């Protein structure tokens, strides 16, 4: 959380140097409660999952006809609309935004940029979760908690 605050206080020109994950974390820093933040992240996970599913299935899910642009299926469109509405609410209800927070919110006004930032953030936290799962799997290899702790070199 401290990293989010430090990043959010930066100069608005720093926006170009930030990764999608860092921009997303700046937005998460604007949420008032952990519950609201977690609900937003869950909506973003559902959106990325829905997007991934429709990309893997080249059927009518993408509603592409001829040379017309592809349209999102209703569920994915509703999730993306929810994300965009949340960003709009944060932008209008936040009392004192730093120049960097304002710049990131303005950048995320573009639906395509928001989709890319959300995908990058969810992918990065999914990779971290997989690393945690690998660690848990190693621990479950038949060792007791004490034996595992000692195998990490943390025992006395």
Nearest to 91 by CA among 103, 76, 77: 103
Has residue 36 been placed in a domain? yes
Has residue 146 been placed in a domain? no
Residue 128 pLDDT: 72
Nearest to 94 by CA among 14, 31, 6, 39: 31
Residue 132 pLDDT: 55
Which pair of tokens denotes residue 52? 């991934």
CA distance to 79, 126, 154, per residue, from 137 (Å): 33, 16, 19
Which pair of tokens denotes residue 92? 């209008």
CA of residue 93 relative to chain centroid, distance:
21
**What whole-number percentage of the chain has pLDDT above 70?**
60
Residue 153, phi-psi category: left (phi > 0), alpha (psi -120 to 50), beta (remainder): left
Has residue 59 been placed in a domain? yes
Residues with Cβ < 8 Å from 98, sequence gap 6 or more?
8, 9, 10, 12
Residue 15 pLDDT: 63
Has residue 147 been placed in a domain? no
Enclosing domain of residue 31: 2-125
CA distance 150 to 60: 54
Tens digits of residue pLDDT in 60-82: 445 444 444 555 678 888 999 99
pLDDT at 8 over 80: no
Residue 74 pLDDT: 82
Has residue 93 been placed in a domain? yes
Residue 118 pLDDT: 94
Residue 72 pLDDT: 67
Count of structural domains, the chain: 1
Which pair of tokens denotes residue 147? 């034996």
CA distance 149 to 56: 41
């Amino acid at each position: 959380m401290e990293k989010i605050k430090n990043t959010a206080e930066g100069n608005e020109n720093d926006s170009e140097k930030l990764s999608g994950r860092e921009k997303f974390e700046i937005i998460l820093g604007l949420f008032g409660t952990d519950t609201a933040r977690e609900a937003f992240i869950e909506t973003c996970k559902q959106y990325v999952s829905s997007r991934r599913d429709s990309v893997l299935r080249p059927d009518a899910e993408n509603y592409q006809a001829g040379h017309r642009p592809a349209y999102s299926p209703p569920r994915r469109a509703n999730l993306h609309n929810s994300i965009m509405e949340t960003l709009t609410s944060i932008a209008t209800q936040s009392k004192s935004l730093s120049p960097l927070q304002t710049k990131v919110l303005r950048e995320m006004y573009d639906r395509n940029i928001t989709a890319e930032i959300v995908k990058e953030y969810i992918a990065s936290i999914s990779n971290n979760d997989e690393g945690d799962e690998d660690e848990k799997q190693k621990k479950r290899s038949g060792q007791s908690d004490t034996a595992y702790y000692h195998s990490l070199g943390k025992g006395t």
